[in-house]
Amino acid sequence: GENVEQHPSTLSVQEGDSAVIKCTYSDSASNYFPWYKQELGKGPQLIIDIRSNVGEKKDQRIAVTLNKTAKHFSLHITETQPEDSAVYFCAASISHTGNQFYFGTGTSLTVIP
């Protein structure tokens, strides 16, 4: 089955700096890659996603890149703000297996004011 690895497990950045979180996946059949933000005491919320037919997607300060050949994808947050502090999860999905999502182990991001 699919195996998703996520690095780093913790990340601290100064407010205004950029943060990058990287994930790798094992199954080349994966075709959908969402990123989730989980704030303390809440369920994860989708913040951005990318499908395998594109290499990059941006939404304001957040961007995701996908390298299908290397089987890795990354989340980039620019001009970080304290409210960006949360745990971020990447995931990979293989549609033909019934839409099961395989999650990374999470990155705890702290933005220092």
Partner 1 sequence: GAGVSQSPSNKVTEKGKDVELRCDPISGHTALYWYRQRLGQGLEFLIYFQGNSAPDKSGLPSDRFSAERTGESVSTLTIQRTQQEDSAVYLCASSSGPAPGDLYFGPGTRLLVL
Mind giving me the DSSP string for 86-113?
EEEEEEEEEGGGTSEEEE---EEEEEE-
Residue 34 or residue 84: which is nearer to partner 1 going by CB?
A: 34
CA 64 to the chain's CA centroid:
7
Counted residue by residue, the chain has a size of: 113
**Among the candidate windows 18-26, 29-37, 59-67, 76-84, which touches partner 1 by CB under 8 A?**
29-37
Please, how many CA atoms are within 13 Å of residue 30, restricted to the half-sphere of its CB? Answer: 30
Q: Given the structure tokens 């099961």, which residue do they identify?
A: 100
Tokens representing 11?
Answer: 């990340």
Does position 99 interact with partner 1 (CB under 8 A)? The reply is yes
**Among the candidate windows 11-19, 21-29, 37-45, 74-82, which touches partner 1 by CB under 8 A?**
37-45
**Among the candidate windows 17-25, 38-46, 58-66, 70-78, which touches partner 1 by CB under 8 A?**
38-46
* Contacting positions for partner 1 (CB under 8 A): 6, 31-32, 34, 36, 41-46, 49, 51, 89, 93, 95, 98-106
